Amino acid sequence: MRRKLFITYIILVMVGSLITGALCLSFVRTYYVKNIQDKLVSNGNLITTTLLNLVDEKNEIDYMAMAQKFSSQTNAEISFINDKGYILADSSDSLMLENQINKPEIQNCLHGKTAVSDRYSKVKGERFIYVALSPVKIYDNKVIVRLGMSLKGFDNLNKVFLSCTLISILIGVIVAVVIGCFFLDNMMNPLQKLNNAAKRISNGNFNHKVRINTKDELEELANSFNNMSSTINNVVSQLNYRNLELNSILNSITYGILVIDINWNIILSNPAVIKILRLDKNLNIGDNLKNSIESQELYNLIEETFDNNVHKEKELGLRDNDDKIYKVYTKLIDYDVENLVYEKGIVIILQDISEIKHLEKMRSEFVANVSHELKTPLTTIIGFVDTLKRKPGEDKEKRQRFLGIISEEVERLKRLIEDILLLSHLENQSSSNNLEEVNIYKELDDILYMLTPSANRKNIGINLIIEKNFTLYVKSKDWFKQAVMNLIDNAIKYTQPEGHINVSAYIKENNALIIVKDNGVGIPKEDISRVFERFYRVDKSRSRSEGGTGLGLAIVKHIVSELDGSIYLNSELNKGSEFIIQLPLNKLDAI
């Protein structure tokens, strides 16, 4: 732009200078010619008056002498011409000149007025200004007095003036260039500042301000530019905040969210969907996803949504070797421009419902198991009650036996109902935030004291191993005791007579570990992951014979979870089992 302005400025200066020089030259020429015309007319009138005086005095007129005399006095060529165009006398002694009747000045003066002609003289070979006065009667002739003056002097002056003008123009152009460069720099400096500011904005720097103090439109433009920059900065900041907010929300959502356009190019995604669909982590917005969907069922669902323009909802598995189940929602998104609806793409939401399905299955199994567990003792009770009704005279020994069985089944029902109620209570009531003190040695010793009779019936030895007593703080002491009691009671039930059980407790890092280890029947490896499920039994017939409800370990796991702890199981079939409860110390006082 600087070069264009500079070239335009130079052209304007040169054109202006040339026009000015041409006007000046024209003015000088006009003035010079007018001055000569006036002088020739004045001299012509003087000559005419002289001729008329000679006529009045009746003197003989020598036209040649008079022409030469006045020519020497006026420095002009003087001719006397009759009204037929013939030259009577000429100061240049050019009597052999052709007839002058056709000359413009002669033609015009014959009409009774002074005529002027600026023309090129072929005889003289240069330009002349001729003035011809209207004819006067001199004796028998009508005489025209014509005066002529060469413009050769003016041409010489014109050359000098032109040279001076060109030199002046050159000097003026040089001066104009110097001054123009100065003013051009001053004019371009604000524009350069605006240009630099625009580049900074294009690079994302919206805080730069343009300072221009020209008190003109450029300053107004700079202020408008600064206001625009501030507005853009505010808008971009808001957009960045919204993007961060949106990204934070998307990143925190466990559902997989994916938005693609009609060409399968990614518009939006969150980390969850990348993980669920096992997509390349390097995929960016705008990358095509059509060949990255492994699940043919999901691919077909998306295609159906595009083709039928309807909302889809379906439960499906993404891979044959994966037991996870997802609920997939697909819906077209569009936008309205001037009442014309354009399809923009599709939003896909994947919800992992594997846990929900697992819970539904567990609930179904729980209902079935509860029904079965309740039905079995009830059937037994009803059977024996019916027998007693039908045979009231049955001997006393049988009656006592039947009543004993009924009593055992009632007790079994009671234990089952108590365990169900306890489990329900644990699930529906949160533990207190207040911590209760548990003296490990005292509480474990009390539990063993209560369970020793059961162990003695099978001649099972129970050892309590605590190298250093400590105090543990838990949310509920009763829950803690219930969990440990269930583990030890379970160990007694599944340990053969003459077996032994070790109960130990110690501190590891910031956790308290309570371990119940037996040398009983053990648990097969394939059943270890399921023993904490409700009503799950490794050996169902043996479990019932031992009086178990199938809810003991489920209760233990739930209690440990409520106490912010974890439970682990190590077991091998026919070699025994080891249950480990890990609880946070929360607060510790060594004793």
The ranges assigned to domains in the chain are: 2-157, 204-251, 253-346, 357-424, 430-590
* CATH class assigned to 430-590: alpha beta
The pLDDT-based confidence of 409 (bands split at 50, 70, 90) is: confident
CA distance 159 to 152: 11
Q: Is the pLDDT of residue 422 over 90?
A: no
Per-residue pLDDT for 423 more than 90? no
Question: Does 355 score more than 60 pLDDT?
Answer: yes
Q: E strand or H helix at 256, and its extent? A: strand 256-261
Name the band, by pLDDT with cuts 50, 70 and 90, for residue 339.
low
- pLDDT for 503 equals 95
Q: DSSP 3-state assignment of 349?
A: strand
* Residue 590: per-residue pLDDT: 36
Q: Where is average pLDDT lowest: 53-67, 335-349, 509-523, 576-590?
A: 335-349
Amino acid making up residue 433? N
More confident residue, 224 or 334: 224
Task: Name residues whose C-beta falls within 8 Å of residue 443's C-beta, 6 or more positions apart in sequence.
Answer: 477, 480, 481, 484
More confident residue, 222 or 85: 85
Three-class DSSP category at 294: coil
pLDDT (average), residues 71-77: 86
Residue 588: the pLDDT is 42
- Average of per-residue pLDDT values in the chain: 81
Burial of 467 (0-12, 13-18, 19+ CB in 10 A): exposed
Question: 117 has which bridge partners?
Answer: 130
Read off the pLDDT of each residue in 334-362 and give the average, rounded to a whole number. Answer: 73
Judge whether residue 2 has pLDDT over 70: no
Residue 314, φ and ψ in degrees, nearest 5: -155, 145
- What gap in Å lies between CA 372 and CA 369, rounded to an integer? 5
Q: 357-424: same fold as 253-346?
A: no
Mean of pLDDT values over 244-264: 86
Q: What pLDDT, on the 0 to 100 scale, is given for residue 455?
A: 92
Instruction: Please give the single-letter amino acid code of residue 228.
Output: M
- CA nearest 146: which of 21, 48, 9? 48
Rounded to whole angstroms, the Cα distance separating 41 from 131 reads 7
- DSSP3 helix / strand / coil % (the chain, rounded to 5): 50, 20, 25
127-156 residue pLDDT tens: 888 899 989 888 888 888 989 888 777 767
Position 591 scores a pLDDT of 35
**Axis crossing angle, helix 396-428 with helix 552-562, rounded to the nearest 10:** 20
Residue 71 CB neighbour total at 10 angstroms: 19
**In this structure, CATH architecture of domain 357-424:** Orthogonal Bundle (1.10)
Please state, in angstroms and rounded to a whole number, the distance separating the CA atoms of residues 589 and 591.
6
- Helix (H/G/I), strand (E/B), else coil: 391: coil
3-state secondary structure of 321: coil
**Contact between 547 and 413 (Cβ < 8 Å):** no
- Rounded to an integer, the average pLDDT of 327-344 is 69
- pLDDT exceeds 90 at position 501: yes
CA max distance for the chain: 206
Q: Judge whether 97 and 124 are in contact, CB under 8 Å.
A: no
DSSP state of 483: H
What are 265-317's pLDDT values in tens digits? 888 888 888 888 888 877 788 888 888 888 888 888 888 888 888 888 888 88
Distance CA 142, CA 134 (A): 9
Nearest CA to 14 among 155, 146, 168? 168
Looking at the DSSP bridge assignments, the partners of residue 266 are 260
Which one is the CATH code of 253-346: 3.20.20.60, 3.30.750.24, 3.40.1280.10, 3.30.450.20?
Answer: 3.30.450.20
Nearest Cα to Cα of residue 506 among 423, 444, 430: 444
Question: What 3-state class would DSSP assign to 531?
Answer: coil
pLDDT per residue over 525-560, tens digit each?
Answer: 888 888 888 777 666 544 444 545 677 788 888 889
Four-residue CA torsion sign, 170, 173, 174, 175: positive
Quote the tokens at residue 362. 């567990």
Residue 577 · residue 517 · CB < 8 Å: yes
How far is the C-alpha of 310 from the C-alpha of 291, rounded, in Å? 23
Amino acid, res. 25: L
Helical H segments across 203-319, by residue range = 217-252, 271-277, 296-308
Residue 117 has pLDDT above 60, yes or no: yes
Q: Who has greater pLDDT, 377 or 94? A: 377
In the numeric block, which tokens belong to residue 414? Answer: 């009671």
Cβ contacts of 185 within 8 Å, gap of 6 or more: none
The first and second tokens of residue 12, run together, are 């304007």
Q: Which residues contact 18 (CB under 8 A, 6 or more apart)?
A: 169
- Calpha distance 427→555 (Å, rounded): 10
- On whether the CB atoms of residues 289 and 283 are closer than 8 A, the answer is yes
Structure tokens at 388: 């007693």
3-state class of 120 per DSSP?
A: strand
The number of C-alpha atoms within 13 Å of 183 and in the hemisphere containing its C-beta is 9
CA dist., res. 165 & res. 24, Å (int):
9
Sequence-distant (6+) residues with CB within 8 A of 108 are: 115, 117, 132
How many residues in total does the chain contain? 591
- SS (HEC) of 24-84: HHHHHHHHHHHHHHHHHHHHHHHHHHHHHHHHHCCCCCCHHHHHHHHHHHHCCEEEEEECC
CATH of the structural domain 2-157, one choice from 3.30.450.20, 3.40.50.800, 3.40.50.2300, 3.40.50.620: 3.30.450.20
Which pLDDT does position 403 carry in this prediction?
79
Residues in contact with 218: Cβ distance below 8 Å, sequence separation at least 6, in sequence order:
190, 191, 212
